[in-house]
C-alpha cells in the first residue's frame, strides 16, 4: 500500500526533526522541503501562534499539493508584561542575533528578578493542512520552569530551540533540553501532548482511510 506523504513544513532541520517525531511510527511518508525541491519561506504575520501555524501549514500544503504539518511556538515570561511577546521569541534580539546573543539578551532582561519572578513557560501551536485546506489545529501550554541565571556551558544552536538551554526545572536540577521523556511526561509537556493529538488525528483520518 502506498504511504501518504506528509511534509515536515519548515526549512529548519531541528524543527523538521521535532515534527518527524510527532508522526514517527505511523504508516506515513515524512518528507522535507529539500527532498521534494520545494523553496518557499512563508511569512509569520499572524497575531497569535495558532494563526501563524495555520498559515504555515496552509501555504506549505498548497505549494506541495500534499499533507503538511507546521508549528509555531514561543516563550512566555509573565514578569516582563508588555516588554515581552512570545511571538517574537526567535527575533526579539534582532534578526542578525545568533542563539548565544539571544541568550545573553534574555539573561540581561531577567537579571533584576529573583525566585518565582523568573517563572517561564512555553506555548506551542500546531496545524495540519492538505492541499491548501486547513484540517485541524491546536495550541497548548506546557511545563512551567524558571529562566536560569547563567548561560549554558556549551554554546546553544541557532535554531528556535535556543531557549531550552536556559529554561530550568529546579525540581530535577536540569534544563529543558536535558530532561528525560519520563520527566517531560511528569511536567505535562506540550510537545508530548501534541504528539498524542497528532497521532490520533492522523491515524483516524489518513492512516486507516487513505489508499
**Does residue 140 come out as left (phi exceeding 0), alpha (psi in the -120 to 50 range) or beta?**
beta
- Give tens-digit pLDDT for 68-84: 999 999 999 999 999 99
Q: Which residues are catalytic?
A: 72
Cβ contacts of 28 within 8 Å, gap of 6 or more? 3, 4, 5, 6, 67, 202, 206, 207
Q: How high is the pLDDT of residue 207?
A: 63
Q: How high is the pLDDT of residue 69?
A: 98
Residue 97 to residue 119: CA distance in whole angstroms: 24
- Quickly name the fold that domain 4-207 has: Maf protein (3.90.950)
Q: How high is the pLDDT of residue 11?
A: 92
Q: How high is the pLDDT of residue 210?
A: 43
Pairing of strands 119-130, 133-147: antiparallel
For the chain, which residues make up each domain, given as ranges? 4-207
What is the model's pTM?
0.91
Query: Which residue numbers in the chain have pLDDT < 50?
Result: 209-211
Q: How high is the pLDDT of residue 90?
A: 82
* Secondary structure element (H or E) that encloses residue 63, with its range: helix 49-64
Amino acid at each position: 500500500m502506498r504511504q501518504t506523504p506528509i511534509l515536515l513544513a519548515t526549512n529548519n532541520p531541528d524543527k523538521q526533526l521535532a515534527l518527524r517525531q510527532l508522526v514517527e511510527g505511523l504508516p506515513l511518508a515524512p518528507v522535507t522541503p529539500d527532498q521534494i525541491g520545494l523553496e518557499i519561506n512563508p511569512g509569520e504575520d499572524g497575531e497569535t501562534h495558532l494563526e501563524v501555524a495555520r498559515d504555515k501549514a496552509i501555504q506549505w500544503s498548497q505549494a506541495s499539493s500534499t499533507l503538511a504539518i507546521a508549528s509555531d511556538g514561543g516563550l512566555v515570561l509573565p514578569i516582563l508584561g508588555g516588554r515581552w511577546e512570545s511571538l517574537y521569541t526567535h527575533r526579539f534580539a534582532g534578526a542578525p542575533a545568533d542563539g548565544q546573543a539571544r541568550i545573553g539578551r534574555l539573561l540581561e532582561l531577567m537579571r533584576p528578578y529573583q525566585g518565582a519572578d523568573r517563572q517561564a513557560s512555553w506555548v506551542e501551536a500546531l496545524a495540519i493542512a492538505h492541499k491548501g485546506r486547513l484540517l485541524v489545529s491546536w495550541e497548548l501550554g506546557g511545563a512551567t520552569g524558571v529562566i536560569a541565571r547563567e548561560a549554558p556551558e556549551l554554546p546553544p544552536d541557532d535554531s528556535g530551540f535556543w531557549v531550552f538551554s536556559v529554561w530550568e526545572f529546579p525540581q530535577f536540577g536540569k534544563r529543558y533540553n536535558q530532561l528525560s521523556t519520563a520527566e517531560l511526561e511528569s511536567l505535562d509537556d506540550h510537545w508530548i501532548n501534541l504528539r498524542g493529538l497528532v497521532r490520533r488525528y492522523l491515524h483516524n483520518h489518513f492512516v486507516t482511510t487513505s489508499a
